[in-house]
Amino acid sequence: MPSITATLFLILRLGLGIFFVWSGLIKLADLDAFTEAVFNYQILFPPYDGYAAYFVAWLEVIAGLATVIGRWGARGGLLAIAFMLAAFNIALGIAASKGLNINCGCFGSSEEPTNYLLHIGLNLLLWVLAIILLWREFTTRSKRLFSENKLSLPNQS
């Protein structure tokens, strides 16, 4: 029977993965609005804003699914999620430093401007969660893979 800690980490990993699948699907449902949101950051311009929007939306879905599925995919999914969150925080910082009054585009289009401090704070919490889960994946998988019962040479008579 799994421990309470293992169950908690599983719930957190599934929650983070499902969150990113959902976020990516929302972006794919209205890719034009998400492309406009990417453009509004004034970091990428046509056609690169469209390429980035398409790539990020699909990467969120794929990384989220890999994180949910687990096994070997969880490591790659969590690593991609951590990099996306870091990149998004950098983009938010650039937009805030330019004084842009834009919607972040995280969950579809909206007329509500982004509260930069709130979004950066929430993304940092998600980033810390992804890093903790990634660390857990590497440490627990390594222990299971290299335990005495897993990799032992057969007895030779």
- Model pLDDT for residues 63-110, shown as the tens digit of each residue: 999 999 987 789 999 999 999 999 999 999 999 999 999 988 888 777
Q: What's the whole-model pTM score?
A: 0.86
Residue 125 pLDDT exceeds 80: yes
Type of residue numbered 108: G
Cis bond upstream, residue 46 (ω within 30): no
Q: Is the pLDDT higher at 87 or at 142?
A: 87
Q: How much is the average pLDDT of 6-10?
A: 93
Three-state secondary structure readout of 12-46: HHHHHHHHHHHHHHHHHHCHHHHHHHHHHCCCCCC
**pLDDT per residue over 56-65, tens digit each?**
999 999 999 9
pLDDT at 118: 95
